[in-house]
Amino acid sequence: MANNDMVSFQVPTFNKNNYDNWSIKIKALRNQEFVLSPWDISHYDDAFEKVSKAKSTKEAWEKLKISYKGADPVKKVRLETLRAKFEMLQMKEGEIISDYFSRVLMVTNQLKRNGKKLDDVKIMEKILRSLDSNFDHMVAIIEETKDLEAMTLKQLLGSLQAYEEKKRKKERIVEQLFKTRIDGAKEESSSSHNN
């Protein structure tokens, strides 16, 4: 039986709203020795019309980039909008830390794809500034004892998740003790009424 080294893959779906993610996936596939170009989107009429007259792959990529990311003035507006979104990010009451991290990283990745240079320290500082007040104690500890320059986002997330889990565990214990006291008081009250 012959060994076939063919790899099956699905070409990422393209639409006018996902150019950034689509282009990253296509470029990754191209780096894996798959020969894909913007012309591989020929079954998407709108995109095909934009690249059909391009004389090279590079020119086709540029046409798609301008069409879906915009020319320089549009990029500047998009970047300003993303910067404002980044600055306004706040952890929602009751939101778990991993969900908040995901929201922050989604915006920072969009900023980076649009040309904004953000280092991990700036992202960590933003996260620490914008956490729910339940994390105030942990934020103070991290700011006093940790060097953010030497810390990674993953380490920060791990520290905050561990704190969050310990806090939840304490809250469950207190809740259970409170429930036990109420149940005990009810039993005591009903037994005194029966006597």
Per-position DSSP letters for 45-112, written without gaps between them: HHHHHHHTT-SSHHHHHHHHHHHHH--HHHHHHHHHHHHHHHHH--PPTT--HHHHHHHHHHHHHHHH
Residue 86 token pair = 């980044």
Q: How far apart are CA 131 and CA 90, in angstroms?
A: 6
Contact 137, 129 (CB under 8 A): no
pLDDT at residue 43, rounded to an integer: 47
pLDDT at residue 103, rounded to an integer: 96
Domain ranges of the chain: 19-69, 93-179
Q: Provide CB contacts within 8 A for 131, sequence distance 6+.
A: 91, 97, 100, 139, 160
pLDDT at residue 170, rounded to an integer: 86
Residue 127 token pair = 């996260």
pLDDT at residue 159, rounded to an integer: 95
pLDDT at residue 33, rounded to an integer: 47
pLDDT at residue 165, rounded to an integer: 94
For the CA atoms of 185, 191, 193, 194, the dihedral, rounded to the nearest 10 degrees, stands at 160
CB atoms < 10 A from the CB of 3, how many? 4
pLDDT at residue 34, rounded to an integer: 43
Residue 13 token pair = 């779906």
Tens of pLDDT along the chain (195 residues) come to 444 554 455 666 766 667 677 777 766 656 554 444 554 554 455 666 666 677 777 777 777 777 766 667 777 888 899 999 999 999 999 999 999 999 999 999 999 988 899 999 999 999 999 999 999 999 999 999 989 999 999 999 999 999 999 998 988 888 887 777 777 667 766 666 665
